[in-house]
Amino acid sequence: MKIISVSEPDGEEGIKKALEVLKKGGLVIYPTDTLYGLGCNALDESAVERVFMAKKRLASNPLPIAVNGIEMMKQYAELLDTAEKLVKAFLPGALTVVLKKKNLPDVLTGGLPEVGIRIPKSDIALRLVELLGVPITATSANVSGNASPVSAEEAALQIREADIVLDGGRLEKRVPSTVIDLTEKPKILREGAIKRRDLEEVIGEVESE
């Protein structure tokens, strides 16, 4: 496992090395605007299976993905009016929207017809997606049930199967993204950095679990 700094001036070189890993079906630990994530090519079924194994995550527990903009989001999910309003209001940022999926492997979503998608407010994550040209997984770089990592070292200790670690330093923000299901009536599945009242200012009443 290689740990490479992505602080300037080394950032682009590290991203290019991570890109080669992703193209070969490898796993990349990378910093986001919330926590350190574990990424692979979200369309590569073998790579996705490696993510599940590395996290010791149940195959029935879907993985979220990161895209680099609204156009890519529309390629892989049904973006209806309510969802588009939230995406334009809060993304890039700490919001994951659950939408009906398109053109994504079933292994990624545990066989379910929907997928969680976000546009991270992270130049490194967005650059990886842009260069790869397809979504990457956006799950936290931890063993399921363990604390989510806010440093490259913490992530590397948990996910030993990663092929490369992009070290962006210790992250200050520890709050995970808010997750909202928009496949039917809007429902918050996890309230994180973005609060219910903020969502309701954009789309009206929102249910919560």
Taking only the tens place, the pLDDT of each residue in 131-153 is 999 999 999 999 999 998 999 99
The 8-class DSSP code of residue 107 comes to G
Per the CB < 8 A criterion, the answer to whether 159 and 22 are in contact is no
User: Average pLDDT over the chain, rounded to whole?
Assistant: 94
pLDDT band at 61 (very low <50, low <70, confident <90, very high): very high
CATH number at residue 89: 3.90.870.10
Residue 171: give the domain boundaries.
2-208
| DSSP line for 143-170 | -TTSPPPSSHHHHHHH-TT-SEEEE---
pTM value is: 0.94
Q: Is residue 84 scored above 90 in pLDDT?
A: yes
pLDDT of residue 1: 84
d(CA 75, CA 73): 5
pLDDT band at 126 (very low <50, low <70, confident <90, very high): very high
Instruction: Give the total number of structural domains in the chain.
Output: 1
Short-list 189, 194, 195, CA closest to 207: 189
